[in-house]
Amino acid sequence: MSALSFFQPIYLWGLAALALPLAVHLLNRKRSRRLDFSTVRFFKDTALRAAKMRRLRRIALLCARILLIATIAALFSKPYDPRAVFSTLVDPGGSVYCWIDPTKSMEYREGKGAVLLKAKAVADSIDKKLSPSSRRFLYDDARHAFVDRSSFTFDGNVVTRWGPPDIETMLRAFNRQRRGSTRTATLVVISDFQENVSEGFEAFFRADSAGAPIIGVNVAPATPWNIGILSALVRGRHPTLAVTTLAAVGKDFAGAGVSVITGGMRTGHDAVTIKKGCHATLSIPGSDGAEPNTGLVMLDADDPFPCDNTRFFTAEASSSVRVLIVGDSANSFPIAAALRCGETSAWRPVIMRPPRTVSYEDIDSARVVILNEVGALSGPLLALCEGRSFSNKAVIVSPCIDTGATMATARLFHFSNIRDNITFASHGAPCVPLLPDTLTPLWKGFPRFRETGAVVRRYVRPLPGNTILSLDNHAPLAAHAADSAGRSWVFFAVPIGFSSTNNLCETGMYVPMMDRIVRYSLESVCGEMEQWVAGLPRRNPYLKSRTGALVYDANNHRIAQWEKQPSVVFIEPGLYKIQPMGATSRWVAVNPDSQEITLAYRAPGFVGRGKKCMVFMENDEFLHYLKTDKGFFYAYGLWGALALLLFAEIFLWERRTEKNAKRRREEQS
């Protein structure tokens, strides 16, 4: 790739005019004549300096004239750096690769049309700017390759799809195809730059650098607002059908209707009011006798992004919960016993592991992890606490008060900024927990009853999160918090197994309290363990089975047969039935990617080579650049140079004043 190219190279012939100042200079040059003279004593210093200055002045004048002509020629021929991002876009001998974000977030309606239409308009503008000899490539999502096209003018060719954007595949295809060509390549990325798109670019540039220029054009809505369903789960049986989490972005919503549809009928309905930027969890009771195995939750709201207004659910997804208890087996035995004696189908299996022997597999397979008086954190436990892995879990933490392992407790209480301020408070008179406090959501629906036999002698204070259980002195006994990884945390201020500091496990309220605490924490877990995402390929679960499985949609039409394909994908969200050969069928709920419907936009941030490769611009700014040719060639610099050279020419030019002319005449005579 050359360092400089020209849009109008024909004008470079104007450089032939450089011969003019050279000729003038050579013709005007007076050869020095030898003169044997009486003395040179009067020529020293000033005359010598003047002669040097005069010679330098003439050389400077020659240079100024040469540069002046070269600058004029350059202004007409429009030079540009083919390695510069914008210049390559309009290189007549270049190739422009265009990727329009095909994800569902591009269907966000802004003004008259969707964001996708805005992206198409940008592509049209690029197409008009391009030279006819430029080659145009458009990314084909199905073929995972850029396809040669005659223009970027679209007639409904680009449609959105479900699933996350596959940035890495697209960039690899771009690199592969541009390296196979000798032309200058530019990639134009037109997207709303949601979090996942930006992360995709950042991850790619961290590992590899495309090398070629990339222009990112942001078509994200200026002031996005939305309300959508983040999750829908079936919790228990009658009367609660579905627990739905909703989120509002950019605007307050009041009275949005939420309906639960099971078996083709609306079996529940509720209305919700959510403030801007907040989440709301809604438990919708169903009608009597309804037992929802599968269904969907619909949000009735006229928002600009309707793709997240429907959420599918299946009862199978939350039918059985695996519980892992980490702690001393003797002390933790009451917890396991309390869970095992509860509802028979709810907590299965309940596994106990000492802290030192717990493995990554143990934690990964469990939906609920209870950390009871863990004094030392092993590697898997650290990974759990520090949020490096293990998303979508409910974690219940009780502190290690007896041994005074404050560091471990601090790590376990890793939320917020209270880590360094944990104290161990004790009272002379024992405290009594408020069991049950029926005003709190934890005990909602529980018969009003007061447990007076429970005594707490020592507890940790403060606790991170929102208090869900209290002592009679208003100190929190348990608190709940959720993190960005979709994990739900419940922190106890006291050990919840056998302990000398309290007698909770000896009271009659212990079993329902543990059951309610575990359920409460599970309700706040975002997503399901085995969640299918529309458009996201997953490993074929029947790859190694001999029989395979048939896949049916909600209308019982067969849509696929999973046999030996390594990965399988559901194109659209919905309810699907998987029928393995010779086994019972099961329903799966396929929902949109949660990142795709979050509508969180941000510009990609780069370090190192990625920063040089990619330019990120807003839609309007980019169109302005296209319109004004700004950044395409060095026009401003050349005009500035021209002005400077003209000034230098005037400054250096020896004007023939009357005096000079007279002197010359005298000399000639």
Contact residues for other proteins, defined by CB under 8 A: 30-44, 46-48, 50-51, 54-55, 663-664, 666-668
Determine phi and psi for 622, rounding to 5 degrees. -65, -45
Give the position of tokens 């869970």: 339
Which candidate, 363, 427, 392, places its Cα nearest to that of 529? 392
Of 42 and 636, the one with the shorter C-beta distance to other proteins is 42
Of 45 and 288, the one with the shorter C-beta distance to other proteins is 45
Of 39 and 452, the one with the shorter C-beta distance to other proteins is 39
Least Å distance, CB 61 to other proteins, is: 15
Least Å distance, CB 668 to other proteins, is: 7
Of 2 and 668, the one with the shorter C-beta distance to other proteins is 668
Of 38 and 223, the one with the shorter C-beta distance to other proteins is 38
Least Å distance, CB 648 to other proteins, is: 21
Least Å distance, CB 64 to other proteins, is: 20
Is-contact 295 313, C-beta < 8 A? yes
Least Å distance, CB 29 to other proteins, is: 9
Determine phi and psi for 340, rounding to 5 degrees. -70, -25
Of 10 and 35, the one with the shorter C-beta distance to other proteins is 35
Give 534's contacts (C-beta < 8 A, 6+ positions apart): 162, 163, 570, 571, 572, 573, 574, 590, 591, 592, 593
- Pairing outcome for strands 294-300 and 135-140: unpaired
Within 10 angstroms of residue 33's Cβ, the number of other Cβ atoms is 5
- Pairing outcome for strands 368-372 and 347-353: unpaired
Cα(513)–Cα(553) distance, rounded to whole angstroms? 41
Is-contact 605 202, C-beta < 8 A? yes
Give 280's contacts (C-beta < 8 A, 6+ positions apart): 245, 246, 247, 248, 272, 273, 274
Least Å distance, CB 43 to other proteins, is: 5
Cα(431)–Cα(425) distance, rounded to whole angstroms? 11
Which candidate, 60, 84, 187, places its Cα nearest to that of 637? 84
Give the largest CA-CA distance in the chain: 132
Of 30 and 448, the one with the shorter C-beta distance to other proteins is 30
Least Å distance, CB 51 to other proteins, is: 4
Cα(575)–Cα(237) distance, rounded to whole angstroms? 20
Least Å distance, CB 628 to other proteins, is: 50
Of 403 and 660, the one with the shorter C-beta distance to other proteins is 660
Alpha helix stretches (DSSP H) within 162-295: 167-179, 195-207
Q: Which two tokens stand for residue 37?
A: 């003279």
Cα(434)–Cα(474) distance, rounded to whole angstroms? 9
Cα(98)–Cα(45) distance, rounded to whole angstroms? 69
Q: Which two tokens stand for residue 275?
A: 């403030």
Least Å distance, CB 66 to other proteins, is: 22
> What is 422-491 written as a DSSP string?
-EEEEEEEEE-B-TT-TTSGGGTTSPP----S--EEEEEE--SSEEEEEBTTS-EEEEEEE-TTS-EEEE
Least Å distance, CB 58 to other proteins, is: 10
Of 56 and 600, the one with the shorter C-beta distance to other proteins is 56
Least Å distance, CB 60 to other proteins, is: 15
Is-contact 355 378, C-beta < 8 A? yes
Is-contact 591 572, C-beta < 8 A? no
Of 361 and 666, the one with the shorter C-beta distance to other proteins is 666
Of 52 and 238, the one with the shorter C-beta distance to other proteins is 52
Least Å distance, CB 30 to other proteins, is: 4
Of 40 and 581, the one with the shorter C-beta distance to other proteins is 40
Burial of 317 (0-12, 13-18, 19+ CB in 10 A): buried
Q: Looking at 52-103, which runs of residues are DSSP E strands? A: 79-80, 94-100
Q: Which two tokens stand for residue 449?
A: 């009853």
Least Å distance, CB 614 to other proteins, is: 58
Is-contact 623 259, C-beta < 8 A? no
Of 35 and 207, the one with the shorter C-beta distance to other proteins is 35
Of 38 and 345, the one with the shorter C-beta distance to other proteins is 38
Least Å distance, CB 85 to other proteins, is: 52
Of 48 and 203, the one with the shorter C-beta distance to other proteins is 48
Residue 400's SS3 state is: coil
Least Å distance, CB 41 to other proteins, is: 7
Q: Which two tokens stand for residue 127?
A: 């197409």
Least Å distance, CB 665 to other proteins, is: 11
Of 35 and 142, the one with the shorter C-beta distance to other proteins is 35
Strand partners, 480: 466, 490
Residue 151's SS3 state is: coil
